[in-house]
């Protein structure tokens, strides 16, 4: 009996538990609430942008070259002689002013040649004076003889008439004829003498000219015995000593002008084409016209920097473009001239531009029209990222005309006013939401770079 009661009690307990569970379940089902839905907002990636705008642009062409003097004097003896004077500072590296006597040869033989030529001229001048006097005297004698001939002719005519009438003997007539013929001979002789005077004068004039040539040559040889500095110069190689005998054609020394130096810079063709495009005339070249006369090289600024020495440089001017390309590097050879390279020199801090210095050359010229320039790092394999009006990324293909420094000049694909992303995005997807922040400081730096001002600040 008790076991049955216990079993009944456990059954009732289970039933009561089940009933309570079902009741609770029904209560929760009836009173359940729908779960709240929360949408997570998508965060926009912040990016830096610049606004594309046309910029005043200075085209650049860069290259390297070796400095050389604009003018070199090779002192070579035109005459032979012994060295009787030698400047005490005649050594490599010495700076000497214009007009300084550097070397003098023995002038004695050339002074004797001058004296001999002058004596010859004096003799010929005397003979010419004698001819003039003879010509004047012969002219006077000829006038007298012509008068005598006229009288003899008259007398002969009279005697001929008398002889015809028998008033004068034949012997008298023949005597007058002989006298008249003799007078005619005298007149003819004087006329021949006068006729030969111009020929004699021409011979003497030719001899005098030869003597003048010898005199001029002797004076030129005498002047060639003295070697004076034709301009302010710096000596290079010296190969002559005092009392040394030098022959004609022998080299004595070499000197370099201090007035100007030149650098033949080797510049890539592409750079030089862009630069010359800014100074080339619009009309085509005609046949036979000199290219240098048609190019406005004054519009090109030139700067030189000494390689291996920070902060040492010079300003110059582009004077010409050498004919042809360099056969080894296939580069254009642009010649830059620096006037007065020794002016303001303060070695060793600021040395002058000297022979064989290796320098970097930078040529610049204003672009004829504004250019669209963006940082070269913003171009990724011919494409850029833009931020549109809805603050979303847009991929755009662009055409890069050329790169200059850190800038890429865009020829197609961008329009003024568009915003270009300048950050290097690790993950970039088209239509991705971004928060574009305009970097005005970067825009100002790009404008300065386009004008070359940042590079100029680095120049001395």
Cα within 13 Å of Cα(25), Cβ side:
6
Threshold 0.75, pTM exceeds: no
b/e for 66-87, b at 16 or more Cβ within 10 A? ebbbbeebebebebbbebeebb
294: Cβ–Cβ under 8 A, 6 or more apart, which residues? 280, 281, 285
CATH of domain 81-105+226-257: 2.40.50.100
CATH of domain 260-281+292-366: 2.40.30
Give the model's pLDDT for residue 452: 80
DSSP-assigned letter for residue 230: S
Give the model's pLDDT for residue 215: 94
Strand partners, 315: 303
* Contacts by 190-198, CB closer than 8 A, 24 or more apart: 190/138, 190/141, 190/142, 190/145, 191/142, 193/134, 193/138, 194/135, 194/138, 194/139, 194/142, 197/131, 197/134, 197/135, 197/138
Stretches in the chain below the pLDDT threshold 70: 1-12, 14-15, 17-25, 27-43, 280-296, 454-460
Give the model's pLDDT for residue 40: 44
Nearest to 300 by CA among 361, 362, 365, 360: 365
- Phi/psi for 37 (5° steps) reads -105, 120
Give the model's pLDDT for residue 320: 87
Give the model's pLDDT for residue 458: 38
CATH 2.40.420.20 fits 47-55+371-458, yes or no: yes
């Amino acid at each position: 009996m008790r076991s049955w009661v216990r079993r009944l009690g456990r059954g009732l307990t289970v039933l009561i538990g089940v009933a309570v569970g079902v009741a609770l379940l029904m209560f929760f089902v009836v009173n359940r609430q729908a779960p709240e839905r929360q949408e997570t907002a998508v965060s926009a990636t912040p990016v830096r942008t610049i606004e594309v705008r046309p910029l005043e642009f200075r085209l650049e062409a860069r290259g390297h070259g070796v400095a050389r003097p604009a003018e070199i004097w090779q002192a070579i003896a035109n005459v032979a002689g012994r060295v009787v004077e030698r400047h005490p500072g005649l050594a490599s590296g010495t700076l000497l002013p214009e007009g300084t006597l550097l070397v003098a040869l023995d002038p004695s033989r050339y002074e004797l040649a001058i004296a001999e030529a002058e004596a010859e001229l004096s003799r010929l001048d005397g003979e010419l004076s004698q001819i003039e006097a003879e010509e004047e005297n012969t002219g006077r004698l000829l006038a007298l003889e012509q008068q005598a001939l006229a009288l003899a002719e008259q007398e002969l005519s009279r005697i001929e008439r008398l002889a015809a009438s028998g008033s004068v003997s034949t012997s008298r007539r023949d005597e007058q004829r002989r006298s008249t013929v003799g007078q005619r001979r005298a007149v003819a002789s004087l006329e021949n003498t006068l006729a030969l005077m111009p020929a004699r004068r021409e011979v003497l004039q030719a001899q005098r000219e030869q003597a003048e040539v010898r005199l001029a040559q002797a004076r030129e040889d005498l002047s060639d015995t003295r070697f004076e500095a034709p301009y302010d110069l710096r000596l290079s190689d010296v190969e002559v000593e005092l009392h040394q005998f030098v022959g004609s054609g022998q080299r004595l020394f070499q000197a370099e002008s201090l007035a100007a130096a030149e650098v033949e810079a080797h510049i890539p063709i592409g750079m030089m084409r862009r630069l010359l495009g800014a100074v080339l005339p619009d009309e085509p070249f005609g046949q036979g016209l000199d290219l240098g006369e048609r190019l406005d090289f004054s519009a090109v600024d030139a700067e030189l920097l000494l390689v291996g020495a920070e902060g040492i440089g010079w300003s110059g001017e582009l004077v010409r473009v050498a004919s042809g390309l360099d056969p080894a590097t296939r580069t254009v050879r642009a010649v830059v001239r620096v006037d007065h390279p020794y002016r303001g020199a303060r070695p060793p801090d600021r040395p002058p531009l000297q022979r064989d210095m290796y320098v970097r050359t930078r040529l610049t010229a204003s672009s004829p029209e504004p250019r669209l320039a963006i940082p070269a790092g913003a171009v990724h394999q011919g494409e850029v990222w833009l931020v549109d009006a809805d603050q979303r990324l847009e991929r755009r293909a662009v055409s890069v005309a050329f790169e200059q420094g850190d800038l890429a000049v865009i020829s197609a694909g961008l329009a003024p006013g568009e915003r270009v992303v300048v950050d290097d995005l690790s993950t970039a997807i088209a239509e991705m939401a971004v928060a574009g922040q305009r970097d005005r400081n970067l825009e100002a730096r790009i404008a300065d770079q386009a004008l070359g001002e940042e590079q100029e600040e680095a120049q001395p």
